[in-house]
Amino acid sequence: MIDVTSKAMNALLPTDILFQTSFWAQVKARLGLHPRAFDIQAAGPDKDVLVLLKPFGKHTIAIVPQGPEFAPPEEDYGTFIEDFSMALAKTLGPGVAFIRYDLPWISPYAGEMQQGGWDGFPEPRLRELRMNMGTRHWNIKKAPEDMTVASSLVVDLVGSEDAMLKRMKPKTRYNIRVALRKGVTVQEGSVQDLPEFYALYQQTALRNGFKSCGLKHFTTMFQCLVCAPGHSELLFLLAKHGSDLLAGAIVGIAGETANFLYGASANIKRDLMAPSLMHWTGMLQAHARGCARYEMGAVSPSDDPSHPFYGLYRFKTGFGGRIEYRTGSWDYPLIPAAYRELCNAESVYAAYAHSDSDQQQ
């Protein structure tokens, strides 16, 4: 039996998951969502979760960003999600159409994928069969898209600077030296630098065909740091060559984990390898702040040139990290008709986005 009780937002416990912090709750509140915090009694002492409520027509969507942090045994993933969803539904009220979890838990398929036996995750139908095994209602659905990423490259920030460099691939070490030799510098930016970074970020989004956030999203993140001192931090890095901005990154820190959140790179002077030096600088600064890991985000699940994230795989694995395979995003419908409506809307949006991306390329 699982029970949840509401708690104050500033009472959320310290965590290495940035998206489960009071800082992230404040960011999303200023961007129009309604955050709620809950203790999870059945998960043992000192377990809680952040839930974000988002309006959807006449209904509401409950989003659990990279949570719950507490992970049951792998064989109990589905039954825990079912019981937790029912407990959460009683507290959230009747207007919630469904609950969407972006689960940070290790994927049940991680072993096979790490051993190189599989190139990717099984199809959603098979994953749903496994997730619902042992549940009473077989009501857990694989979300159409993962909210963050199910395959993330993580670099361990352990040992000396030389030790971290030795774990990199020779090409990445070479690129860092090229950037230094050619005069690329990396400095910490301020809120005043956000418009310049944002222009580069939009250029990157257009080049790579992804939907960009608005400038307000970035300014809000920095404004909220003042409201949540000591629990979260942002590194804002700008790589320049002379007066030219060549790359930028916003890295969020929570506990011992640094998360590469947003990045941008220029179309010019790409031979100067500014992104390599920028990330290396971010790793050094995160290490100096006590971080044990630097999460670089999305990569292809394997060394597969046909995968759309293969370029990210080649670049990020050069830093000597490992791929963490996570369970990804799952839905628990509470109002089936409203849930189907949203899934249809998401399908239309995805088709439009892909079409728009093809035109831009």
Beta bridge pairs of residue 250 = 236, 262
For residue range 265-291, what is the model confidence (pLDDT) as tens digits?
999 999 999 999 999 999 999 999 999
CA–CA distance, 269 with 39 (Å, rounded to integer): 50
CA–CA distance, 3 with 351 (Å, rounded to integer): 39
CA–CA distance, 44 with 30 (Å, rounded to integer): 32
Structure-model confidence comparison of residues 116 and 195, the more confident one: 195
Mean per-residue pLDDT, 238-265: 97
Q: How confident is the model at residue 43 (pLDDT cuts 50, 70, 90)?
A: low
Domains of the chain, first to last? 4-148+326-360 (3.40.630.30), 158-291 (3.40.630.30)
Position 225 scores a pLDDT of 83
* pTM greater than 0.85: yes
Q: How confident is the model at residue 34 (pLDDT cuts 50, 70, 90)?
A: very high
Position 356 scores a pLDDT of 35
For residue range 335-353, what is the model confidence (pLDDT) as tens digits?
999 999 888 877 655 443 4
Position 57 scores a pLDDT of 85
Position 208 pLDDT exceeds 90: no
For residue range 50-79, what is the model confidence (pLDDT) as tens digits?
999 999 889 999 999 999 998 999 999 999
* Cis bond before residue 73 (omega within 30° of 0): no
Q: Environment class of residue 160 by beta-carbon count within 10 Å: exposed (0-12), middle (13-18) or buried (19+)?
A: exposed
Q: How confident is the model at residue 180 (pLDDT cuts 50, 70, 90)?
A: very high
How does DSSP classify residue 147?
S
